[in-house]
């Protein structure tokens, strides 16, 4: 099989570490500058040096909602497109079922992300002076997306479910993937 750049665990680790470092640095100002003591001894959750929350809500909208949603839509569309192209060239009936479950998982994950995180991000950015109960409710729903991701994968993606149970049961996967090579004549005969 063709090994890509992401096939190596070292490269994946570098990407994950880079993303974590970026978001840590992006949020570092909150740790340093937010919360200070008033002269009367009470704690103020705002920053004494700059207005934190109206500006931060725009940053959160961009980095927590719009950028991930755009990447999810673009990359998931690309994966689905390549799966469909691969489905046309393969002769295995089982692969069609596997492609369908991957497609359902990708589409449902993207739709749930949009439905559950967008209202809170837009609400806190543009309607921060609105009803706090509604804002808190949408915030809880946005965190609910992260909670629902695991059950969603368990329900919609059979391979994920099998690997999860194999991991829980401490079973090793010793199966090898065989590459099926077909000539042009064989491909044309299957059509």
pLDDT averaged per 10 residues, the chain (length 191): 71 91 84 76 71 75 90 91 78 64 88 92 84 89 90 88 87 57 54 53
Regarding whether 109 and 138 lie in a shared domain, the answer is yes
So what's the pLDDT on residue 114?
93
45 with 71, same domain?
A: no
d(CA 59, CA 79): 28
Same domain? 93 vs 33: no
pLDDT at 132: 86
Number of domains making up the chain: 2
Residues 118 and 179 in one domain: yes
Q: Which residues lie closer than 8 Å to 171 by C-beta, 6 or more apart? A: none
For the stretch 135-168, pLDDT in tens is 899 989 999 998 998 999 899 888 888 888 888 8
117 shares its domain with 141: yes
The answer to whether 144 and 134 have CB atoms below 8 angstroms apart is no
Distances (CA, A) of 115 to 73, 80, 134: 13, 21, 15
81 plus 14 within the same structural domain: no
- pLDDT at res. 115: 93
pLDDT at 111: 93
Q: Which domain holds residue 128?
A: 53-190
**Same domain assignment for residues 86 and 38:** no
- β strands within 29-170, DSSP E: 34-37, 43-47
- Same domain? For 152 and 174 the reply is yes
Q: What is the pLDDT of residues 108-126, one digit of tens each?
A: 999 999 999 999 888 888 8
The whole-model pTM stands at: 0.65
Residues 63 and 43 in one domain: no
Distances (CA, A) of 150 to 30, 105, 109, 187, 191: 29, 11, 10, 38, 38
Residue 70 near residue 93 (C-beta atoms within 8 A): no
């Amino acid at each position: 099989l063709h090994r890509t750049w992401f096939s190596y665990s070292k490269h994946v680790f570098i990407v994950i570490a880079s993303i974590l470092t970026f978001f840590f640095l992006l949020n570092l100002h909150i740790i340093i500058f937010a919360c200070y003591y008033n002269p009367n001894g009470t704690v103020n959750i705002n920053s004494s040096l700059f207005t934190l929350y109206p500006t931060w809500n725009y940053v959160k909208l961009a980095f927590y909602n719009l950028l991930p949603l755009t990447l999810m839509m673009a990359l998931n569309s690309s994966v689905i497109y390549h799966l469909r192209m691969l489905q046309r060239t393969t002769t295995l009936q089982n692969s069609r079922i596997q492609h369908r479950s991957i497609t359902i998982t990708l589409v449902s994950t993207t739709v749930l992300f949009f439905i559950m995180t967008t209202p809170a991000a837009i609400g806190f950015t543009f309607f921060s002076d609105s009803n706090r109960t509604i804002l808190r409710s949408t915030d809880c729903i946005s965190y609910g997306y992260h909670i629902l991701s695991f059950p969603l994968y368990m329900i919609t993606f059979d391979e994920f479910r099998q690997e999860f149970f194999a991991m829980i049961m401490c079973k090793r996967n010793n199966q090898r993937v065989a590459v099926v090579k077909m000539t042009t004549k064989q491909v044309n005969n299957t059509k």
